[in-house]
Structure formats: structure tokens, C-alpha cells
């Protein structure tokens, strides 16, 4: 049977929900399976400079600086799929006291969707 965009969409949403749940629990081990081991994360820091690098930086931040946020609300605003490439946007409110907009790039590798990069904006 050939994979359809509905199946791909549902698989991508499942990956993104791993990310969301890991943030809510403040446990990187919950979100790690969503990411390629080669993934990156970038954003603009409080001084207006580019900040980021390997995804391990996100995992360390989640585990050390975030607190469980069961009240956090996340909305998958957009998923765009073309073949084995996809992008997605998630808006999250009240995750450890922050509000973020995250943009993800995903690739379907060996039949499995995985996040290969994340960029984010921290709202004031």
C-alpha cells in the first residue's frame, strides 16, 4: 500500500506531539525520539544575537531550566508536506512561563519522520 499524505500528516503530528509532551513534562527523554541525532536548533537570544547549535542544547535546557508545565497549551498551526520533506509550526503558551513559536523542518528517513532542524521565536 502506498503512503498517503493523510498518513504522513498523522505521523508528523505524532512526532510533534512527542516534542510538545517533552516540553510540558520538562523531560528531554520524552522529546528526543522526535529529533534526528544530527538536528540543530537556532533562535535569537535576549541580546538580539543568533544562538544555537546541536539539538543537545535544547535537551540540556529542557532538563535544567524548564519546570513541568501541565497547563501549557500548544497548537500545531501548520504542516506542509512535499514528498519526503515537511515543515511545521507550533505555537505554545505558558511552557515554563514562556510563549514560543517554533518552526520545524522534518525529513522522512527510512520510512520515519524526524525533525532535522528547529528555529524559534520567544514572545515577550
Per-residue pLDDT tens for 47-92? 999 999 999 999 999 999 999 999 999 999 999 999 999 999 999 9
pLDDT digits over 2-32, tens only? 778 999 999 999 999 999 999 999 999 999 9
Domain holding 45: CATH number? 3.10.450.50
Three-state secondary structure of 37-97 = EEEEEEEECCCCCEEEEECHHHHHHHHHHCCCCCCCEEEEEEEEEECCEEEEEEEEEEECC
State the average pLDDT over residues 91-113: 97
- How many domains does the chain contain in total? 1
pTM for the structure as a whole: 0.94
Residue 1 has pLDDT above 80, yes or no: no
Q: Give the domain extent around 68.
A: 5-122
Amino acid at each position: 500500500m502506498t503512503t498517503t499524505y493523510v498518513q504522513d500528516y498523522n505521523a508528523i503530528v505524532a512526532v510533534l506531539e512527542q516534542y510538545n509532551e517533552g516540553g510540558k513534562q520538562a523531560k528531554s527523554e520524552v522529546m528526543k525520539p522526535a529529533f534526528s541525532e544530527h538536528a540543530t536548533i537556532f533562535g535569537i537570544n535576549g541580546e538580539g544575537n543568533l544562538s544555537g547549535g546541536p539539538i543537545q542544547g535544547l535537551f540540556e535546557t529542557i532538563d535544567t531550566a524548564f519546570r513541568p508545565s501541565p497547563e501549557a497549551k500548544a497548537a500545531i498551526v501548520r504542516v506542509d508536506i512535499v514528498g519526503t520533506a515537511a515543515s511545521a509550526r507550533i505555537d505554545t503558551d505558558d511552557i515554563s512561563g514562556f510563549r514560543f513559536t517554533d518552526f520545524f523542518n522534518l525529513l522522512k528517513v527510512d520510512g520515519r519522520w524526524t525533525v532535522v532542524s528547529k528555529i524559534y521565536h520567544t514572545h515577550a
